[in-house]
Amino acid sequence: MRKLKRLLVTGAAGIIARQIREGLSEFAETVRLSDMRDMGDAAPHEELVECDITDSEAVEELVAGCDAILHFGAISVEDRADIIHRTNIEGTYHLYEAARKKHARRILFASSNHVIGFHPRESRLTASSPIRPDGNYGVSKAYGEALARLYWDKYEIETLIVRIGSCFPRPRDRRMMATWMSKDDMLRLIGRMVDVPRLGCPIVYGVSDNAEKWWDNSETAYLGWEPQDSSEQFRDLFKDAPRENPNDPSVVRQGGVFASAGHFED
């Protein structure tokens, strides 16, 4: 695969970007990392840029010269709407505007399973299933998905929308046996995004090849992404866990405790 000239990563100090950072050298000659938090030291192929995503001019400058963007920069937990709107709505808008003006052609938008978190666990979802967000966070990601689609239809900017499950080193609770995504499968997916001749604007569920499956990516099999890991290796972690109540809302819904949690008051 031809390497990109320069790949931008927003939210570079976050939990996902930290896991995959090392592996990105395979995809680009230069990796530009951006965050407001400490990002450690730069490797020879890396550029570190401190940038506030809510500052539209700074974002434009950040994007200039990049072929592609991994947009992980967001509030990634449930929070007050004003906080989430500022970063996830205004920030994402700035990023797409910058891509349009500075001719970045391909973006990975880190969406979330919380866009569809109110679906019951026995529902099999595809990219076409109706959205059912489970909180302010999920609604903000629905905004981002709509924006990405607009920039594809109107401005030919391709986006890989990834509804990420749980991208951690290992599952943290029983629910993540279904939602876990390994860092290596995330890297494989990024590889396909970089390499595929035509990306378009697909919605992909970001999840490893776990035995318990809620989501069906067959509609986007043209990408050639075949996850290789599975949460089954971690099944014993939960063998002594107390039996859950099947009618507890956080067990009924795919979003887990996001769906059963109350409102974050402003």
In the range 173-192, which residues lie near a second copy by CB under 8 A?
174-175, 177-178
Q: Which is nearer to a second copy, 31 or 98 (CB)?
A: 98
Show the DSSP H helices in 156-264 as ranges. Answer: 176-179, 183-195, 249-252, 257-260
Angle at 201 between CA 133 and CA 29, to 5 degrees: 115
76 three-class SS:
coil
Q: Which of 61, 90, 184, 237 binds a second copy (CB under 8 A)?
A: 90
Choosing from 133, 165, 171, 227, the residue that interacts with a second copy (CB under 8 A) is 133
Q: What is the DSSP track for 247-266?
A: TSHHHHBTTTHHHH------
Among 142, 160, 167, 186, binds a second copy (CB under 8 A): 142
Structure tokens at 66: 């990049």
Which residue's CB is nearer to a second copy, number 39 or number 159? 159
Q: Which is nearer to a second copy, 141 or 183 (CB)?
A: 141
CB of 103 to a second copy, least distance (A): 14
41 versus 128: smaller Cβ distance to a second copy:
128
Greatest Cα pair distance in the chain: 54
Task: Provide the 3-class DSSP secondary structure of residue 1.
Answer: coil
Q: 10 Å Cβ neighbour count for 85?
A: 17
Please work out the total of residues on this chain that contact a second copy, with binding judged by CB under 8 A.
75
Near a second copy by CB under 8 A: residue from 61, 212, 234, 237: 212
Strands of 4-10's sheet in order across: 46-50, 28-35, 4-10, 68-71, 106-112, 158-164, 203-206
Q: From the list 27, 72, 118, 205, which residue makes contact with a second copy (rule: CB under 8 A)?
A: 118
Beta bridge partners of 49: 34
Share of the chain residues as helix, strand and coil, in percent rounded to the nearest 5: 40, 20, 45
Residues 40-69 that bind a second copy (CB under 8 A): 56
Q: Contact between 103 and a second copy (CB under 8 A)?
A: no
Q: Does 242 bind a second copy (CB under 8 A)?
A: yes
CB of residue 185 vs a second copy: minimum separation in angstroms? Answer: 13
Backbone angles phi, psi at 249, to 5 degrees: -55, -35
Residue 205 annotated as catalytic: no
Minimum CB–partner distance for residue 45 and a second copy (Å): 19
Interatomic CA distance for residues 141 and 161, integer angstroms: 10
Identify the sign of the CA torsion 47, 67, 191, 176: positive
Tell me the two tokens of residue 147: 């924006």
Give the nearest distance from C-beta 174 to a second copy in angstroms. 6
Does residue 216 touch a second copy according to CB under 8 A?
A: yes
Q: Does 234 bind a second copy (CB under 8 A)?
A: no
- Which C-beta is closer to a second copy: that of 158 or that of 185? 158
* Binding range to a second copy, per CB under 8 A, among 18-26, 40-48, 164-172, 243-251: 243-251
Residues tagged active-site: 137
